[in-house]
Amino acid sequence: MLLKFTKFNDYIRKINPVNWSISTKLLIAIASAATIPMSLIAYNNLKLGLDNLTKSEYYKLEVIAVSNASRLDQLIIDNRLIVNQISSNINVVNFLAVTSSKQEELFSKVEKSLEVILRSSPDYDAVFVMDKDGNCLASTDPTFIGRNYSFRDYFKKAIRGYGASPVSLLVGATTGRPGLFFSHPIRSERGEILGVAVLKIKGHDLWRVVNSIRVNSHVQAFLIDENGIVIVHPNNSFLYRSLDELSGDTQNKLKAENAYGREQISSLQLSELASAMVGAKQMGNVSYYSPLEKTHQIAGFSPLESEPWVLGVNKPREIFEAPMRAMIWQNGCFVLLVGGISALVSLLLSKQLVKSIRALIKAGQALQKGDFNPEILAEASRSQDDLGKLACVFLQMAEEVNNREHNLKSQVQELRVEIDETKKERQIAEITGTEYFRELQKKAQRLKNRTNMPEKAEAEYFQSLHKKAKYQKTRFVANL
């Protein structure tokens, strides 16, 4: 446990910036100073650029949707005028106003009138007339005659006789072909509703109009009805499928009308797109993910004024973001290049710096041991930077230290001599200051004062006394 704790402390000490080497600190400092501000500026510029580019793309898609929604509105308005003319045709009105026995006499006239309208445009698929019970009495397509279409929504709306001419995009119950159905009530001179006139436009022609809305190969246009069901799309797998799950009542209603020739309307699981587009009253944009295409998309949309339909124009997000991603990659490479150059410069600077510092450390250690050699700092002192000046100051300091050390040694030597002399004097003072030595001096003085002692005996006596004193002194010093 103690070993693990020690290793952990060593690891903490190593990662602590305080314990990093100067070269590491310098490398991180220069690289950070060079790359961090540049990275922040590049990130901010790229983010602003991407935001502006996204807004621009949204605006472009909205403009495309609005302009082409107007084209569809014009198409619907023009064909409404045509169906209105059919409903007011004198032959058609008279045909429905008479009894069934007399209708046979007018049938050929009605048939010719309907044929003239059919041949007036290649986009028309069929023109037919129904009585007020929904039975088809006359048509340019003989397969329609005798069938009942009272279950169709366009008949139900027209027979009520209010509002604009109903329009429905349906899959024909008789032909199985998709078409755009325009209907209008046929009234007598007294305003009584006699039946319904219907103009069917080929659905493929409507698709052609919507699919022509292309700025480039990546932009797609599509049309949804009031329920969010895709009625026009360049990808057939999207057709007659709802953007989001439909309610049970809506499913039952569509099944009863056989609107799109399907028992059940499946969902595309595009809830984000559905919440933005279904029932939209004004143009807008939305970003969403398409599970079928497995891509993130952006779309601009605009509602039609003539019908509760919405025209959408979408584009993969990655297409318009591709140039920005390339720019991000270029900026990232540039930042890395600048960071690499900064790291290289910092390594060169740190190498020179560390070399001078290590020379100073080596010189300091040599000075500490007493074997300092000025040649250690010869190269560093020739530099004109702050480290060169520091090396020069260190050389001067080393010279002063050597001089002071030499002077100190001389002073210590002199002090030792003085200490030895003082010691000797103290020792002599200790000898002469003894009671024994004072007694000898007194005896010598007494002997000296003797006048009757013979000179020879006196000299011998003093000589003997001097030897004793010298012996005592030598013995005392030896003991010390």
Answer yes or no: do 184 and 100 share one domain.
Answer: yes
Are 274 and 189 within one domain? no
Lowest average pLDDT, out of 38-47, 58-67, 276-285, goes to 38-47
Instruction: Select from 119, 120, 94 the least CA-distant residue to 108.
Output: 94
The answer to whether position 315 is within a domain reads yes
Hunting for tokens 């008789």 — which residue is that?
A: 174
Q: Do 82 and 199 sit in the same domain of this protein?
A: yes
Task: Give mean pLDDT, residues 259-284.
Answer: 87
Are residue 131 and residue 190 in the same domain, yes or no? Answer: yes
| One domain, residues 150 and 245 | no
> Is the per-residue pLDDT at 5 higher than 70?
no
* Most confident option among 168-172, 275-279, 406-410: 275-279
In this predicted structure, the answer to whether residue 279 has a pLDDT above a threshold of 80 is yes
What is the per-residue pLDDT for 264? 84
DSSP 145: T
Give the model confidence (pLDDT) of 366-419 as tens digits: 777 777 676 666 666 666 666 677 777 777 777 777 777 778 777 777 777 777
CA 233 to CA 203: how far, in whole Å?
12
Instruction: Assign 195 a pLDDT band (cuts: 50, 70, 90).
Output: very high
| Average confidence (pLDDT) over 102-114 | 86
Per the domain annotation, does 409 fall within a domain? no
Residue 163 pLDDT exceeds 90: no
Structure tokens at 327: 């720019």
Q: Which two tokens stand for residue 305?
A: 């004024």
305 versus 162: which is more confidently predicted?
305
Q: What share of the chain has pLDDT > 70, as a percent?
A: 67
Whether 197 and 81 share a structural domain: yes
Q: What is the mean pLDDT of residues 306-318?
A: 87
pTM over 0.95? The answer is: no
Where would I find the H helices in 88-145? 90-97, 100-119
Are both 115 and 143 inside the same structural domain? yes
- Of 169 and 193, the structure prediction assigns the larger pLDDT to 193
Query: Is pLDDT above 70 for 478?
Result: no
Same domain, 94 and 141: yes
CA dist 432 and 430 (Å) reads 6
User: Which amino acid, residue 321?
Assistant: E
CATH number at residue 144: 3.30.450.20
Domain-located, residue 328: no
Strands 178-187 and 193-202: antiparallel
**Structural domain includes residue 119:** yes
Which band of pLDDT confidence, cut at 50, 70 and 90, is reported for residue 186? very high
CB atoms within 10 A of CB 458: 15
Q: So what's the pLDDT on residue 198?
A: 93
Distance CA 480, CA 468 (A): 19
DSSP state of 228: S
3-class secondary-structure state, position 332: helix
* 199 and 222 part of one domain: no
Tell me if 219 is assigned to some domain.
Answer: yes
Q: Residue 220: give the domain boundaries.
A: 57-68+207-319
What is the model's pLDDT at position 344?
74
pLDDT tens for 36-62 read 776 777 677 777 777 777 888 888 889
Query: Mean pLDDT across the stretch 145-174?
Result: 79
Is residue 350 situated within a structural domain?
Answer: no
Reported as a pLDDT band with limits 50, 70 and 90, residue 427 is: low
Q: Pick 379 or 161 by higher pLDDT.
A: 161
Residue 126, classed as helix, strand or coil, is strand
Contact call for residues 243 and 267 (beta carbons, < 8 A): yes
Q: At residue 215, does pLDDT exceed 90? A: no
In a domain, 99, yes or no: yes
- Domain stops at, among 184, 203, 222: 203
Mean pLDDT across the chain: 77
pLDDT at 315: 87
pLDDT confidence of residue 130: 93
Kind of pairing between the strands at 193-202 and 220-224: unpaired
**How is residue 359 written in tokens?**
């020379």
Assess contact for 205 and 123: CB atoms under 8 A.
yes
What is the number of H-type helices and E-type strands within the chain?
13, 10
Domain shared by 139 and 171, yes or no: yes
Number of domains in the chain: 3
228-257 pLDDT tens trace? 998 888 888 888 889 999 888 888 888 877
The helix (run of H) or strand (run of E) holding residue 85 is: helix 22-87
Cβ(316)–Cβ(218) below 8 Å: yes
Task: Count Cβ atoms within 10 A of the Cβ of residue 410 and give its class: 0-12 exposed, 13-18 middle, 19 or more buried.
Answer: exposed
At 448, the pLDDT band (50, 70, 90 cuts) reads low
pLDDT in the model for residue 454: 55
Output the pLDDT for position 138. Answer: 92
Please compute the mean of the pLDDT values over residues 124-138 and round it to a whole number: 91
Same domain, 217 and 287: yes
Answer whether 224's CB lies under 8 Å from 244's CB: no
The pLDDT of residue 451 is above 60: no
pLDDT at position 302 = 93
Tell me which of 203, 238, 273 is where a domain ends: 203
Query: Which tokens is 304 given?
Result: 């039609």
Answer with the one of 169, 203, 237 that is the final residue of a domain.
Answer: 203
* 284 phi and psi angles, rounded to 5 deg: -170, -170
Name the 3-class secondary structure at 258: coil
SS3 state of residue 139: strand
Residue 443, both tokens: 């005896």
The rounded distance, in Å, linking the Cα atoms of 173 and 465 is: 165
Tell whether 156 is covered by a domain. Answer: yes
Q: Which helix (DSSP H) or strand (DSSP E) does residue 451 occupy?
A: none
Per-residue model confidence (pLDDT) at position 275: 92
Predicted pLDDT at 134: 92
Judge if 180 and 273 occupy the same domain: no
